[in-house]
């Protein structure tokens, strides 16, 4: 699989039944990521993050069970950081600069590279995608 094709992979959970008819096992299937509007953080989150992090960001998406490392609960990032949203850390995690154990691994694509490809190398559009996605995650913060 080419590096470009791998960059444009997205997790989608599906069930597969083994040949013996035993209970289904959850597996990850890679499918092409569809470009979304760079203006909508919510649309990007739903398309690229919710499969693992869940619709509400609590780390309980449909693909979470099939992952080796549980997805982060994105709704408590500020609480874990003295009630301040860690914007720079989130941006680094999305772009792959943070070198987190999950982001950039075989299980978690580095979205910075994906966004660069979707934006055809236009730095302002890449920045818009990153900023709007991070702002959407910030809007998901809860205090309890």
> Where in the sequence is the domain holding 128, given as residue range(s)?
3-139
Per the prediction, the chain carries an average pLDDT of 79
For the chain, list residues with pLDDT below 70: 1-28, 98-109, 144
Paired tokens of 48? 């690229």
pTM: 0.77
Helix (H/G/I), strand (E/B), else coil: 15:
strand
Assess if residue 12 is contained within a domain: yes
Domains identified in the chain, total number: 1
Assess if residue 48 is contained within a domain: yes
pLDDT of residue 3: 36
Assess if residue 112 is contained within a domain: yes
pLDDT of residue 37: 94
pLDDT of residue 14: 33
Assess if residue 15 is contained within a domain: yes
Assess if residue 144 is contained within a domain: no
Q: Rounded to whole angstroms, what are the CA distances from 137 to 43, 57, 100? A: 12, 8, 17
- The conformation of residue 100, written as its DSSP 8-state character, comes to -
């Amino acid at each position: 699989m080419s590096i470009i094709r791998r960059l444009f992979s997205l997790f989608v959970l599906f069930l597969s039944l083994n040949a013996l008819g035993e209970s289904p096992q959850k597996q990850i299937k890679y499918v092409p990521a569809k470009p979304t509007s760079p203006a909508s953080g919510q649309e990007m989150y739903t398309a690229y993050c919710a499969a693992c992090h869940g619709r509400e960001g609590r780390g309980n998406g449909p693909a979470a069970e099939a992952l080796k490392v549980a997805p982060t609960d994105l709704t408590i990032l500020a609480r874990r950081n003295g009630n301040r949203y860690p914007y720079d850390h989130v941006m680094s995690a999305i772009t792959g600069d943070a070198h987190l154990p999950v982001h950039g691994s075989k299980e978690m694509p580095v979205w910075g590279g994906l966004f660069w490809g979707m934006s055809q190398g236009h730095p302002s559009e890449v920045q818009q995608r990153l900023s709007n996605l991070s702002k959407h995650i910030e809007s998901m913060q809860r205090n309890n």
